[in-house]
Amino acid sequence: MVTEMATINQIKAKLLELEGGAFQRLGDHWLHKRGYENLNAIGMTQISNKTKTGTPDTLIIQNNGKYIFVEYTTQQLTSRKKLETDIDKCLNPQKTGIPLENISEIIICYLGTLTPEDIYILNEKCIKQNIILSLFNIDAIALSIQNSYPVLAKEYLSLPLDTGQILSIEEFIKKYNYNKFSTPIIDSPLFLDEYFHQGIEALLNQQFLLISGEAGIGKTQYSLSLLKKLQTSYPDKKIYCIFNKGESFLDEITAYFSEPGDYLIFIDDINRLNSNLDYLLHYLVENDDKRTFKIIATIRNYAKTSFITKIKQITTYQEITLAKLDKEQLSTLLKKIFNIHHLDYLQRIWEITKGNPRLAVMAAKIALREQNLSALYNIASLYDSYFSHYHHVQIILDNKKTILTSGIISLFRVIDFKNEQQIQSIQQIFNITLDEFRDNISILTHNELIDVFENEIIKIADQVLATYLLYHAIFVQKVLPFPILLEYFSNPQKIGLLNDAIVPIINAFDHKSILNQIQPDIKSYYTKILSNQHSQEDILLYLNKFWFAIPTQCLMFIKDILDKQEKIDINWHTVDFDFNTSNGQGNLIFSLLSKFRHSNKDELQLAINLSLDLLATSDDFIKPAVYEFTNTLSFKHNDHEIGYVVQNIILDSILSRTHQGDNYLYTKLFFIIAAYYLKAEFSEFNAEGKMVNIMRFRFPTNQPLKEIRGKIFKQLTTLVNHADYQVESFTLLSDYIANMKFNGGKIVQLDMPYMWDLISSYFNKNNIAHCLLIKNYQDQLRNMHLLSTQLIDNIPAIVQLLADSHQERAERKLSYEDYQKYRRNKIQKYTGTITINELNYFLQQCEHLSVVSKQHKQYQLREIISSCLSNMITSYPHHYPRIIYTYLQYDELFSINPYYIITTLFKICGVIETKDFIDTLEHKNKEAWLTTYFEHYPAENINEKVAAQLLDHIGQLTQITAVPNDLNLLDKYQPFHTDLYLIITKYLYAKSRQDMRFLEPVARLFDQNKIYNQLLVYYKNDSEIIYQCYLAILNYNSYFDDDGQLLKNLLENNPAFFYTVLDSILQKSTRLSYDTKIPCLKFLWDKDNYIQDIEQYALYIYQKDQSYFGGIFHKLFIHDEKTDNLAKKQHNFITQTIINNIDNDEYILFIIGVLDYLSEDEKLNILLVLLEYNQNINLFKRIQFSPLSRSWSGSLVPYLEKEKQFLLKILPYLNKITLLNHKAYIEELISHKEQEIEREKKRDFVDMVYY
């Protein structure tokens, strides 16, 4: 509180020092920020702070034609008499030239004080003239400057109340180098010359330059050096650097970047700006012609993906990625900057930093200080040596109370003093009073080791430092006893927090020493929760977090679960193994077992065996087991360095259980794992806080990789001809062959000996599926220039047709259309050689291919079979019944389109015999064959009898697959039955009561004929069917008539149908909303009497659903591109319907609901219209001034700030006696919005993750 009073007193003291002109300049600026526009400084000279005679001092012109007078006085002993004189001048039309009825408000800003009686007398004087008086004394102005407009204090009072985060280059470097945890910026950086040209070129062409690379790589050094070069080349540029302190700098953005000019802004670690980034970007996108912005920003690799997604939505960018130093460059750096030449030191620093400049600098400083190579052989000692060298850290480490407090903050990550439960827990668990805790935080703050938000929320400034301090608190000074932490944090809600704090310590410091310290406590607590009969889930959660300390106990617990599993017989042949391997996450048993990938080989083997044993006890375990095998236990980028130990154990364990295919469960599991292991490229996901890094990698094609792939191919040789696994074998090999080109020549060559063995020893040349695989494999090898000879001779013709068409098309260099023509000719030629006696064998081959290929080749097979039957019927016309009967044995599987068969029958036996023959058939697709018959019936042969047969056929349809695709086929029948369309549509309409899909051809007909008169041609004798079908189709398919054109045309003939459609939609939807599907009604705006029609529509919807929270009516106001004419019509409608229904508050609220879809100016104009005709404060308070729903990314603060600015925009229009209640309500909303902004800023700070 002392600090705040001091600040207020400083502002007041500076205000009292101002001369009249300077005070008026500040006052005008202050009023402008409060929402007053069109200010005319009548009492000031144009280009100085000198005052001149005039009344008022400042004149404000409002949009409604009214005026606001502003008077300023700097007299410290302000008297009522002085202000009364100023008011009298304002009320004198002869002095001002403005009639009193045109003055809405008088504002007086003064630096003195008045008594309540003075204020009352002055206020009454203005009320008598129906004028509002607003008095702002020194306290009101000072408080407003401090809390809302601190930038004014810096500009007019020379008080730097901003956060100090926007700096010059020199200021930034000074601040940066003061941070003892950063690598100092030097004047002559090494090895960056090649990047400078790229950076300058990028900024000439792009608005945003992103500098990426690993932490410590030199991104900041490079960026600042680039800024200096640009400053020299372009001296007129306004260059600023953002130095992130974690505090909001929204006001500073406006202050620093509002002036005209070309701005170049540098943001270091842009991923850490969080909400401030949103403030900055949202501000910069809304620039004008007088300002240009270019940004240079550094970013950590882990945050790059999500940031690029965000920046792409705003502007274009170019990225420069800085690489690590190579060994020679690192040696040069150490020699030139640190004068380190000893080969042992150079080698060791290279080994522990691998070219990272920041780590290298840290290591070099330790080497110079310690003059002892052993100091570089322990990472823990490196941190100890580095951090303990600095006075600020040493102060904390030397004080048990401050190390306790810093450890608590590091443990909780964020301390919120408004979270009473958290604060009470800290006091109770760690035996520390609130006063002691706050005192220690003050010490940490003074030493710049923590970030503080609004004196409420605390966190350690740097993650490495947080880990280091927590390590000291728990394991060195032991002020945070681990058993106490375990007791408090090991419940399911908090266990993750403790684990997340301990694991980084174990990774960074002496692993064995720390593990030896915590292992007894972890084991003891496990024994405790086991004996207390905690739930299995709670115990598994605990073991998942601390498995590394008690691995044997983990395995024993899982073994106990296995022993208690109910023994049941499972028919694994009926279980579905075809699922996405990414499903199944979250099973704590398999999650725990998968963690043993980080254990020793023996324990991993035990974990895998337990996983496989458990898998056999329940089919519910399939998905979680497979998930862990293909995710947590999958390939990691460094697995090749340890000879693929994990994958070999998994694969060997599964293979030992398949028993050459006799065990169905483990053989199916083998195929799932094999498909994953045979890939050439893998992905590794690593989570860092809220970020997920995805690393894609390939392994070197060495002997260990060859051996693991060899095991898979060897197992395939025993399964490829196994009756139970032909489909799986074909699928696995087909996918492998299809991906050969992506896998690359090296991996394919690695596998070739195994594939040769498979082909030469186990493939059956009489098996058409085998031949297809060989043909595709052979074609891929040739395409990759790895094969020049044939693998097999006399490849069956059907295999040639089914082989990879993309490959053949590429080889022949044909366009898509030319290739299709070439392919049809090939099919015709091949199928023309098949005899009747060979037909059954041919279809058997197709059946076999269809089964093993799992639908992969179905379309091609149908095409070949259709061509074959057509050719055969043409060649053997007298045997067509035999040919078709033979095919129908397989029709259940293939269901070919009978077009070729029927059109061929037309040619050889005529339409009548074709019909008679189809009638004799009994098979599943008979109705579809008859439909095809009528679709392609020759027009010249149609008569009334045939038309009647068509009607009879459609009337008796039962199968949806037999419904005509296009009703236009009826055109050729229409001359023989004028009501053909009408009758068939009625048939289909009646059948749609059982299956709405019967109306799909009618819907397509309506889509093709959106003009009502065109439809009337088809339905002139009963046009009502059009409306019936329209409603039925719309009810079935909400996307029908999406553009509303058909409805528009139907309404021209029957306007009342509009409300029938609305009723249908209302009956279908339980809740009307923006998402309710409805034909587009924007044609209503084109009508001459649009106001009347749309008002009727609005009233109808309002009466059905009295909700102003959105709805189908509001869709009328949403347009991708709104023309000025449309905007004018919308404004006219809203204005007129409000006036027409001015006493219907509920309807007005319903209409006002469209404000969310209008621009701010449109909203404001509508509100002013409402206030002109209806000043009911209760109605006003029910208006939603903020959006009912929002969608945003990043921080919510910029959006809330925009909403607040809109409210401020309303205020000046409420300066009337009759609207004082309205003004008070808007001011209340502004206050609430400011509180919401502060809450969001707090949430942004808490959510900010550092690494």
The residue with tokens 């027409």 is 1140
Per-position b or e across 124-150, b if 16+ CB within 10 A of its CB: ebbeeeebbbbbbbbeebbebbbeebb
- The model's confidence at residue 4, banded by pLDDT at 50, 70 and 90, is very low
Reduced to 3 states, what is the DSSP secondary structure of residue 242?
strand
What's the token pair of residue 261? 């000019």
Q: What share of the chain in percent tops pLDDT 70? A: 88
**Per-residue pLDDT at 70:** 95
| Digit-coded pLDDT (tens) for 891-926 | 988 889 999 999 999 999 999 999 999 999 998 999
pLDDT > 80? residue 40: yes
What residue type is assigned to position 159 of the chain? L
CA distance 1162 to 5: 43
What's the token pair of residue 410? 């590091």
**Per-residue pLDDT at 661:** 92
| Cα-Cα-Cα-Cα dihedral sign, residues 114, 116, 118, 121 | positive
User: 1207, 1202, 1187, 1210: which is closest to 1237 by C-alpha?
Assistant: 1202
Omega cis (within 30) before 492: no
CB 1074 within 8 A of CB 1111: yes
pLDDT > 90? residue 883: yes
**Per-residue pLDDT at 533:** 83
pLDDT > 90? residue 91: yes
**Per-residue pLDDT at 479:** 93
User: 721, 722, 751, 717: which is closest to 736 by C-alpha?
Assistant: 751
pLDDT > 50? residue 1250: no
CA distance 774 to 433: 78
| Cα-Cα-Cα-Cα dihedral sign, residues 699, 702, 706, 707 | negative
Determine the length of the chain.
1251
**Per-residue pLDDT at 6:** 43
What is the arithmetic mean of pLDDT over 575-590? 78
597 secondary structure, DSSP code: G
| Digit-coded pLDDT (tens) for 862-877 | 888 888 898 899 989 9
| Digit-coded pLDDT (tens) for 968-996 | 889 899 899 888 999 999 999 999 999 99
Question: 187 pairs with which residues across the strands?
Answer: none
pLDDT > 70? residue 1249: no
Residue 779: how many CB atoms within 10 A of its CB? 18
Nearest-5° Cα angle at 905, 903 to 909: 135
The residue with tokens 């005008």 is 28
- The model's confidence at residue 2, banded by pLDDT at 50, 70 and 90, is very low
- The model's confidence at residue 1108, banded by pLDDT at 50, 70 and 90, is very low
Whole-number Cα distances in Å, 383 to 364, 405, 410, 514: 13, 20, 17, 16
- The model's confidence at residue 199, banded by pLDDT at 50, 70 and 90, is confident
Element (H, E) at 451: strand 450-453
Name which of 462-476, 685-699, 803-817, 896-910 the model is least confident about. Answer: 685-699
The residue with tokens 């009492």 is 43
**Per-residue pLDDT at 100:** 93
Question: 1072 pairs with which residues across the strands?
Answer: none
What is the arithmetic mean of pLDDT over 1032-1053? 89
- The model's confidence at residue 1180, banded by pLDDT at 50, 70 and 90, is very high
pLDDT > 90? residue 288: no
| Cα-Cα-Cα-Cα dihedral sign, residues 887, 893, 894, 895 | positive
The residue with tokens 């401050």 is 402
Which residues, including other chains, have CB under 8 Å from residue 716's CB and lie 6 or more apart? 674, 729, 732, 733, 758
Q: How many CA atoms, within 13 angstroms, populate the side-chain half-sphere of residue 779?
A: 23
What is the arithmetic mean of pLDDT over 714-722? 90
Question: 109 pairs with which residues across the strands?
Answer: 72, 136
User: 112, 113, 151: which is closest to 15 by C-alpha?
Assistant: 112
Q: Which residue has the higher pLDDT, 153 or 1032?
A: 1032
**Per-residue pLDDT at 325:** 77
Alpha helices (H) in 211-249, listed in sequence order: 219-233
**Per-residue pLDDT at 5:** 39
Reduced to 3 states, what is the DSSP secondary structure of residue 989?
helix
User: 898, 916, 906: which is closest to 862 by C-alpha?
Assistant: 898
pLDDT > 90? residue 418: no
Rg (the chain; Cα; Å)? 40
CB 354 within 8 A of CB 324: yes
Whole-number Cα distances in Å, 166 to 30, 157, 272, 658, 696: 22, 19, 15, 67, 38
**Per-residue pLDDT at 377:** 59
What's the token pair of residue 49? 């702070």
CA distance 994 to 410: 66
Which residues, including other chains, have CB under 8 Å from residue 693's CB and lie 6 or more apart? 301, 302, 305, 685, 686, 687
User: 437, 537, 550: which is closest to 493 by C-alpha?
Assistant: 537
**Per-residue pLDDT at 390:** 60
Q: Which residue has the higher pLDDT, 316 or 954?
A: 954
Task: State the first-to-last Cα distance of the chain, in angstroms, to the nearest integer.
Answer: 34
Residue 5: how many CB atoms within 10 A of its CB? 9
**Per-residue pLDDT at 1031:** 93
CB 209 within 8 A of CB 317: yes
Which residues, including other chains, have CB under 8 Å from residue 799's CB and lie 6 or more apart? 768, 771, 772, 775
- The model's confidence at residue 294, banded by pLDDT at 50, 70 and 90, is confident
Name which of 268-272, 657-661, 1002-1006 the model is least confident about. Answer: 268-272
Q: Which residue has the higher pLDDT, 136 or 1153?
A: 136
Strand ranges, E, within 721-856: none
14, burial (CB in 10 Å: exposed 0-12, middle 13-18, buried 19+): middle
